[in-house]
């Protein structure tokens, strides 16, 4: 702000929204992003706002900016700890050599720029060289949440068209070894399992590799997020877009300083995994990765690690805090902490205050961010220089022209990190994000601003559910329920949950002659989607309420389940079905 001549935060934010070309050019300069070939234009919207291209004519690479240029600095790139207490420290130099081996290995298999490589791994150190190895060779990395069931994993790998997958034989949770992928998806040419064979493969490769110069719009990542209908959506992200958004948020929102140690409790398969890695490594920062349960072997595990590894910035979901505040009473001092973060779902004031008072000792601002996989970043976040109140998101993030129309969160101008469509389905991209309010990005969240100008998110405006910070659409859960041989129809809703924020409640109709056991259906969902998405309750009903056109009215089912007034039922073809639900 001082360099640009601003002494007022709101004036700076207004300028960033109103002058996107100037802002994004300045933030890339501010962050020291290095280009192999300088860009000629900041943006080109000639194909329409929905298909805006950024930093036109420029060439760069995430791996050069986040890895290569720090390799001789002597800095630590990552500190890792496993649930069993094992630790590992990786320097940028070590990471560069390992990433080069990965890049050489993939190229030796015939993989070419643009080909996809899927990562289905726990939060282990190997994710870093694999991710950067893909970027170096111009390959597209496809991180997939390791906690999904076999069906959800296979669906995402198949949709991405990945030619190679890197996975692990198991993951460790609460002291138990759990198999990761029990059945490998078909159609993948090369399958690697972390272990001796993978190490032998890399040992054969050279530790030297010239990082590819790629166009600004070259695809870096496909990140999957659940849709309200149909299959999961693959959000497509570019090298320049990832650097612009993740770097901006770490630099401005989390006040990056040399010597910071940044820890976000997440997974490589969720947006916050790549976000943490790219955003911090752009500045040669150190990240902390943890692979394990947050409350094992003691409820104080998280806080002990923060103290032990001198973490300076820590981010977490409200669900985790709601769980931990009930079982942890005495916390270590954690004097190294200077900033806190959160995302994934709305806060409640009681949990927010516990996080602020007990973890941050009333000295650390909570940078509560809200955006999504589709923009690998945030529409809303507070700056650490502004006053905050419990649960707030501050306001529109720098450079994001965020607004509210009829209670819906929208964005009136494009940003560099907005997905370049939905992978394999451009029409669905337009329909999902750009049709409700033509010329504006519709994000699907309810938002509000209070009298003091503080912004808040109150939940999803569509039928998707937010289970412990993980967004999931009804269609995927319903598909899993339908895998039970006795289920004729299924519908799910999200119901308030004290710990998770929302829990899944299912309704099923039996096939003629079938007798349904709700517990068996819950198991079917967990097997297909993963245990995180096991329904809290499944209710057997005679029929599901539908419109005249056959659409299930989940909104009314949720209101009936919660005991809320139903209002107008004129569009429901069989209103009596609500009495059975």
- Burial profile 365-399: b = 16 or more Cβ within 10 angstroms, e = fewer: bbbbbbbbbbbbbbbbbbbbeeebebbbbbbbbbb
Answer whether 149's CB lies under 8 Å from 526's CB: yes
Inform me whether the pLDDT recorded for 423 exceeds 90: yes
pLDDT-based confidence at residue 581 (cuts at 50, 70, 90): very low
Question: 404 vs 124, 303, 363, 408, 447, CA distance in Å?
Answer: 40, 37, 31, 5, 7
Give the pLDDT mean for 506-523. Answer: 93
Same fold for the pair 31-396+404-449 and 465-580 = no
Domain range summary for the chain, segments of one domain joined by +: 31-396+404-449, 465-580
What digits encode the pLDDT tens for the residues 189-201? 999 999 999 999 9
Instruction: Please indicate, yes or no, whether the overall pTM of this predicted structure exceeds 0.95.
Output: no
Query: Quick one: fold of 31-396+404-449?
Result: Rossmann fold (3.40.50)
What digits encode the pLDDT tens for the residues 98-154? 999 999 999 999 999 999 999 999 999 999 999 999 999 999 999 998 888 888 888
CATH superfamily of the domain spanning 465-580: ANL, C-terminal domain (3.30.300.30)
Question: 243 vs 29, 317, 380, 411, CA distance in Å?
Answer: 12, 23, 18, 20
Peptide bond into 47 cis (omega under 30): no
pLDDT-based confidence at residue 550 (cuts at 50, 70, 90): low
Inform me whether the pLDDT recorded for 172 exceeds 70: yes
pLDDT at 230: 57
pLDDT at 570: 65
pLDDT at 227: 63
Give the pLDDT mean for 518-538. Answer: 92
Answer whether 91's CB lies under 8 Å from 99's CB: no
Summary mean pLDDT of the chain: 92
Hey, what long-range contacts does 354-360 have (CB within 8 A, 24 or more apart)? 354/321, 354/325, 355/316, 355/321, 355/325, 356/390, 358/325, 358/331, 359/303, 359/314, 359/331, 359/334
């Amino acid at each position: 702000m001082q360099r640009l001549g601003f002494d007022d935060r709101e004036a700076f934010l207004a300028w960033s929204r109103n002058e996107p070309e100037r802002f994004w050019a300045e933030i890339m300069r501010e962050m020291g992003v290095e280009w192999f070939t300088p860009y000629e234009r900041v943006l080109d919207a000639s194909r329409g706002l929905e298909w805006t291209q950024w930093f036109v004519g420029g060439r760069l690479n995430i791996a050069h900016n986040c890895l290569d240029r720090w390799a001789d600095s002597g800095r630590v790139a990552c500190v890792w700890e496993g649930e069993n207490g094992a630790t590992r420290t990786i320097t940028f130099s070590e990471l560069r050599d390992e990433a080069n081996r990965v890049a050489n290995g993939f190229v030796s298999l015939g993989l070419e720029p643009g080909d996809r490589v899927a990562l289905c791994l726990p939060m282990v150190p190997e994710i870093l060289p694999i991710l950067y190895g893909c970027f170096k060779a111009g390959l597209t990395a496809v991180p997939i949440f390791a906690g999904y069931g076999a069906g959800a994993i296979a669906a995402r790998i198949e949709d991405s068209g990945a030619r190679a997958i890197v996975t692990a034989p198991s993951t460790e949770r609460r002291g138990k070894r759990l198999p990761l992928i029990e059945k490998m998806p078909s159609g993948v040419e090369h399958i690697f399992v972390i272990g001796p064979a993978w190490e032998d493969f890399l040992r054969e490769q050279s530790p030297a590799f010239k990082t590819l110069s790629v166009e600004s719009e070259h695809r870096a990542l496909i990140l999957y997020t659940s849709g309200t209908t149909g299959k999961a959506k693959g959000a497509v992200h570019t090298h320049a877009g990832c650097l612009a958004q993740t770097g901006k948020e770490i630099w401005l929102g989390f006040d990056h300083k040399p010597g910071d140690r940044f820890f976000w409790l997440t997974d490589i398969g969720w947006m916050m995994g790549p976000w943490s890695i790219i955003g911090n490594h752009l500045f040669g920062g150190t990240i902390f990765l943890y692979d394990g349960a947050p409350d094992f072997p003691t409820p104080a595990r998280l806080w002990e690690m923060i103290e032990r590894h001198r973490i300076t910035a820590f981010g977490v979901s409200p669900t985790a805090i709601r769980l931990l505040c009930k079982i942890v009473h005495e916390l270590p001092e954690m004097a190294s902490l200077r900033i806190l973060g959160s995302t994934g779902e709305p806060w409640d004031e009681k949990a927010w205050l516990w996080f602020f008072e007990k973890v941050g000792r009333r000295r650390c601002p909570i940078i509560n961010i809200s955006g999504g996989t589709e923009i690998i970043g945030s529409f809303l976040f507070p700056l650490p220089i502004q006053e905050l109140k419990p649960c707030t998101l501050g306001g529109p993030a720098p450079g994001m022209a965020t607004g509210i129309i009829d209670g819906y969160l929208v964005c009136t101008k494009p940003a560099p990190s907005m997905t370049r469509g939905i992978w394999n389905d451009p029409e669905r991209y337009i329909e999902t994000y750009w049709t409700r309010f033509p010329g504006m990005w519709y994000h699907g969240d309810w938002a509000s601003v209070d009298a003091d100008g503080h912004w808040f998110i109150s939940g999803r405006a569509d039928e998707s559910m937010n289970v412990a910070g993980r967004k999931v659409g009804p269609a995927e859960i319903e598909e899993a329920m339908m895998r039970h041989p006795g289920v004729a129809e299924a519908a799910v809703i999200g119901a308030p949950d004290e710990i998770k924020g929302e829990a899944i409640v299912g309704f099923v109709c039996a096939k003629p002659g079938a007798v349904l056991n709700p517990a068996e259906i819950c198991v079917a969902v967990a097997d297909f989607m993963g245990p995180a998405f096991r329904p809290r309750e499944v209710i057997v009903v005679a029929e599901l309420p539908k419109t005249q056109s056959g659409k299930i009215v989940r909104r009314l089912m949720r209101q009936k389940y919660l005991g809320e007034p139903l209002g107008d039922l004129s569009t429901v073809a069989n209103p009596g079905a609500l009495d059975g639900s």
